[in-house]
Structure 1
Amino acid sequence: MHLPSGITCMGFPKILPLILSVILSFPSSAQAQEKIPTGMVLIPEGYFQMGTSSGNNDEKPMHFVYTSSFYIDKYEVSNQDYQMFMDATGHPAPIFWDDSRFNDSEQPVVGVSWNDAMSYAKWKGRRLPTEAEWEKSARGNDGRLWPWGGKFDKGFFFFFVNIFGKNDNYSHTAPVNYYHSGVSPFGLYNTAGNVWEWCLDWYDENYYKNSPEINPEGPQGPLKMKVLRGGSWVNSIESVKVVKRARNYPHIKNKIYGFRTVLPIH
């Protein structure tokens, strides 16, 4: 058998991840019978391509990663969602909470730190996604560079993504359920643009060079910064590729930072 050149996977036959990424991308019968929590999406177990061979140094190398099944929010956490959390716990309001540019009930909550996002997730009985879980949810199993595919038609920004300086209908953040054409292969909204999303992992520029193949959870910490993914309304189309990695200190709050949550399946 002749295999595609450059296809490798640590500790497995070269072709196995390609086969498993397809076979395991479909829910098992047991998973299909489970009731998916409201507002979440099931991401089946299996392999996917993570990173890239041609991007920034911290995006390299492209490698195969296996994740167990999990649920992830279909939408970014909205102001309405966060209001319920504040009402129930007394958690302080984020910065920009009273800013009319960002405080519609269906806009994503912004001005939240990683610590705030973790507090919300714990209140829901969940956690933030690992970097691998986030990228798989946004990318699917075929190695695409944006949630909708590998290419982009510049004439259709208003159908796909909320980014900087384009005719996308919103000058700041868009409602979390907008841009139907830009959903990921698993049905997630706004994994490109709108707001950067906090992830569970500590950030290490060189992590991909020796990261675990199965359920990677990021480098052991504490380190200085946490990972953010997805790009935002102030970024270019290149900066919202699903492989792009950003980072900041866990206490930092910004008008371009939001999040979504994950519920592991045990």
Structure 2
Amino acid sequence: MSSASAPFHLILAYPDSAHSDYLIQVVQSGGFNPSITVCPDLETLYAAAADSPTNTLLLTELVWDGGDISEVILSLSLANPRLAPIIVSAYDIQALLPAFFPFPSVHGMEDAATILKHIAAYAEDLRGQNFGDYQIREIQGLTYMARTYAAYQPAIRREVFLNIQPATASAEEKDAFRQLVRAQAGNIHPNIYAIYEENEVQGRLFLSQEPVTSPTLFELALQDFTFDARLLARVLNTASSTLLHMRMNSTPHQPISAAHITLSSEGVIKMLNTALPRSSTVPDEASEIATLARFLRSFIPPDEPFDPQLAALLDSMENGSTSLTHVASQSQSIDLALAPEKFVPQRQEALVAQQEISKARKTSFYALIAGTIALTISTIFILYKVLFGVVLEVPATNFQGQALIPAGTVKAGGKEIEVKAFYIDEYETTIGQYEKFLAAVEGQDTKPYLPPDWQGFKENFRPVDWDGMMKSVRTNTFYARVGEKLTRDHPVFNIDYADAYAYAKWAGKRLPSEAEWQRAAAGDEALPFPWGKETDRNFTNTGLDMNDDENKNIKAAGVDGFRGPAAVNAFRQKIKDTSPFGVKYLGGNVSEWVTALPEYGPLKDEQRVVRGGNFNTPALVPNHYRVPQPENTAQPYIGFRCASDSLVGSKIN
């Protein structure tokens, strides 16, 4: 057996062209020279997937324009077995992915080594080769930690699917693969696709299993397929009795979805083997029952009478008033009641439709997507939520960059202050980062996180109107107090000094001092603004265009592009708010809490200091300017960033 990784085709699907350009450089740096298609939008991605050659890798983001496109990636992978998706995300999506997510993923584009490892692993093409006792025929896509091939076992004349781990698999990945195979091998049921063999060839683990050649309910739903009452009852009985079997055996498994159930042209209903290792959890019974009911409802013909018993059963499943035992029993009774007096084969029109769908999987399932599902992207998004019962929330970008600020001096009150070398975060602390902090310290005593000289008690570190802020994040709606749709990449605000101090301490960092902040903003030349000496208010996010001003012919967001705060990495129009050391938005967006120094002058009791301009203040704020604030002030235009004596994250300069 020889391993071949060329030729292959590469699709790069990113709404931000800079990400595609960067990944092209990464791929070429690894010695690969594939043909490349760049897709800046989903329509282009659909077309590229349809026209892709047999061995194609898809590198893509999971979050586009504030929305999760996992449903699109899944549909494309089902439609095109020759396509191998690899998620390379600028977002920190690891905590949001379900267990044993089918596609390899890289969390952070700076991890070039892992990106190249996945490309080398999944660009491999073993078609036409012998692998142990098997003759490999066709590529069938990806499964967890493995490439799937259709193969033939001559010794016993058996068609199989082979899940073959990459040659580069680590010891940990091999161990995880073995655990998964053992769990699935013990999950034996007539309605579950069988596991045949787990073995090793030339140091590479593989799994041999019953081939999956029938379309899934997910694929049928994309075709607007509908079921009569008896077929729906049969599907419900198969699914519920199989889930009941796994529950009775305390078998951890993936939560039920429409992609786990197949329906053959002969009317045979089976389920994929979704068992997980014993260290995983068994899904909540009521939740699985409700999900099953929701996606089966999508197969009921619209505007047609439907069996009242079956409708009542689906209602009870959704409202949590039944069990798998009852669902399995009732669905079987309904199936028998709806059976004709004399058995007849499956309806011819159903067989023809299913046969056409089976053919489509072997040719171009994209035609089906283009015909009925390419109605709108939102259609498939809604359908995915119904069929899978869950959609990932848009996660936070994995901001870890810190700038090294070399030792130097700044002026304060006519005197020079020596500033030792330190690190400062490239971006302001985001809502997504602060959300993780709140989750980590929930229920803990707040005292260890408070500033030593803090006066009074704090019950928690939640920002003012945190629930309202997160509602905007989760529903992609406007947050009225700032006039923007918030994301997890927006700077956190509505926080007081103690909130900022506590986050920094939890993160293993601290707040920068006034002198450090000024040094990071002004550089070696003591610039008046982070970008230089220009006083153009287009250069940062100020309050000049927070609202319409007819007297000055200014439209809201018409100057810098933002009414309220911008995402910390969003730079529209003429914005140039980057300091000489590469630190972003020190001059605007939100003002920032810092640690006050006596060299800058005295403060009143319980006062602290903020630095920098913000989206609420029309004027530019010079680097040397300080604004005293009561320490318990919490405003939509005040946030913070962190500093540290040593590197905590990744160095940017």
Name the TM-score, length of structure 1 as normaliser.
0.70
Map 1:16-165 to 2 at 5 A: 38-47=400-409, 49-51=410-412, 60-61=413-414, 63-90=415-442, 91-97=460-466, 98-99=468-469, 100=472, 101=479, 103-153=486-536, 157=538, 160-165=539-544
Q: Choose the corresponding residue for 1:186, options 574, 581, 596.
A: 581
In the alignment, structure 1 residue 228 sits paired with structure 2 residue 607: no
Asked if the contact 2:461–2:499 (Cα under 8 Å) also holds between the matched residues in 1, the reply is no
The whole-number CA distance in structure 2 between the counterparts of 1:79 and 1:254 is 14
1:242 aligns to 2:623 (yes or no)? yes
| Offset at residue 265 of structure 1 (A) | 3.6
For 1:71 and 1:136, how far apart are their aligned partners in 2? 11
CA deviations 1:67-103 (Å, max 9, x no partner) are: 1111111100000110110111115431143243364
Contact kept in structure 2, 1:121 and 1:127, CA below 8 Å: yes
Q: 1 CA distance for matches of 2:406 and 2:568?
A: 23
- Residue type of the partner of 2:610? L
SS of 2:594 mapped into structure 1: strand
User: In structure 2, do the counterparts of structure 1 residues 246 and 222 end up closer, same or farther at CA, with 3 Å as the change threshold?
Assistant: closer
Deviations 1:82-137 (A, max 9, x none): 01101111154311432433642111000111000111011011110000000000
The SS at the match of 1:254 is coil
Q: Is the 8 A contact 1:96 1:255 kept in 2?
A: no
Distance 1:152 1:201 in 2: 27
Distance in 1 between the 2:424 and 2:530 partners?
Answer: 15
Instruction: Output the amino acid matched with 1:161.
Output: T
SS of the counterpart of 2:417? Answer: strand
Aligned residues: 202
Which has the higher relative contact order, 1 or 2, with Cα contacts under 8 A spaced 6 or more apart? 1
The answer for the alignment partner of 2:566 in structure 1 is 174
Matched-pair contact (CA < 8 Å) for 1:111–1:257:
yes
Distance across 2 between alignment mates of 1:118 and 1:172: 24
* RMSD (Å) for aligned C-alpha atoms: 2.3
C-alpha change, 1:96 and 1:172, in structure 2 (3 Å) is farther
**1:50/1:135 contact within 8 Å kept:** no
CA contact (8 A) 2:408 2:519 kept: no
Deviations 1:137-166 (A, max 9, x none): 011111211100012235xx1xx2100123
Paired AA for residue 411 in structure 2: M
Measure the CA separation in 2 of the matches of 1:139 and 1:105: 28
Higher helix share: 2
Kindly state the Cα deviation for residue 196 of structure 1 after the two structures are TM-superposed. Answer: 1.1
CA contact (8 A) 2:544 2:619 kept: no
| Secondary structure class of the residue paired with 1:165 | helix
- Assess if the C-alpha contact under 8 Å between 2:577 and 2:588 holds in 1: no
Give SS of 1:172's match. Answer: coil
**Cα distance between partner residues in 2 of 1:106 and 1:71:** 21
What does residue 216 of structure 1 align with? none
Check 1:124–1:222 CA distance in 2 against 1; reply closer, same or farther (3 A cut). farther
CA contact (8 A) 2:406 2:421 kept: yes
TM-score by length of 2: 0.29
What CA distance in whole angstroms lies between the structure 2 residues aligned with 1:252 and 1:260? 17
- Once the two structures are TM-superposed, the CA of residue 222 in structure 1 deviates from its matched residue by 8.8
- Give 1:198's match in structure 2, choosing from 586, 593, 617: 593
Consecutive unaligned residues of structure 1, counting only runs of 5 or more, are: 1-36, 52-59, 210-218
Paired residues of 1:197 and 1:257 also in contact (CA < 8 A): yes
8 A Cα contact 1:128 1:198, kept in partner: yes
What SS does structure 1 have at the residue aligned with 2:584?
coil
SS at match of 2:543: coil
1:50–1:136 Cα contact (<8 Å) kept: no
Q: CA deviation at 1:245?
A: 0.7
Q: State the secondary structure of the residue aligned to 1:133.
A: helix
Task: Measure the CA separation in 1 of the matches of 2:512 and 2:630.
Answer: 17
CA distance in structure 2 between the partners assigned to 1:127 and 1:153 by the alignment = 32
What amino acid does structure 1 have at the position aligned with 2:424? I
User: Hey, what's the Cα distance between the residues in 2 that align with 1:195 and 1:111?
Assistant: 11
Distance in 2 between residues matched to 1:132 and 1:92, nearest whole Å: 26
Q: Aligned to 1:253, which of 587, 610, 634?
A: 634
**Could you tell me the percent identity over the aligned residues?**
32
How far off is 1:50 after superposition? 2.5
